[in-house]
Amino acid sequence: MSNEERTFIAIKPDGVQRGLIGDIIKRFEQKGFKLVAMKFTQASESLLKEHYIDLKDRPFYPELVNYMASGPVVAMVWEGLNAVKTGRVMLGETNPADSKPGTIRGDYCIQVGRNIIHGSDSVKSANTEINLWFKPEELCSYESCAHTWLY
């Protein structure tokens, strides 16, 4: 069984400002995912424009880029079985009003424009986003002692 799927997760500026970094990381750790990269960074406008390139024709695109550049973010790579799909379920719906209690957005968010977290929506986009935010040498390769208890 291969459990090497990776996903890109970013805590947005509002999540950082609200002090939710530890709570969010804890959820992914408790689920059993392995953290393989993390950085606390102020993303450049050019990085954010490239990250959200698929939304460039949407009316909210400039506001989204400004919002993401308004403060530091925590960029992370998590690894595990079905990491992309499970990560998206853990995040909840893009619109927090549609998110169930128990999801990150369901528990911590009210408005779609301040939904505190980003998660890759496919393995392909995860690979693209990981390569955009991290250099290959920034990704750690190790076996967690919990691996045999999870798989």
Report how far apart, in Å, the C-alpha atoms of 122 and of each of 7, 64, 130, 142 are. Answer: 8, 20, 12, 24
**Cα 126 to chain center, whole Å?**
9
118, 119, 133, 134: the active-site residue: 118
Is 60 flagged in the annotation as binding? yes
33 is in an annotated binding site: no
Active site residue 51: no
Q: Is 40 annotated as a binding residue?
A: no
Q: Is 148 annotated as a binding residue?
A: no
CB atoms within 10 A of CB 18: 15
Q: Is 105 annotated as a binding residue?
A: yes
Catalytic residues: 118
The binding site for ATP comprises: 12, 60, 88, 94, 105, 115
Binding residues, as ranges, are 12, 60, 88, 94, 105, 115
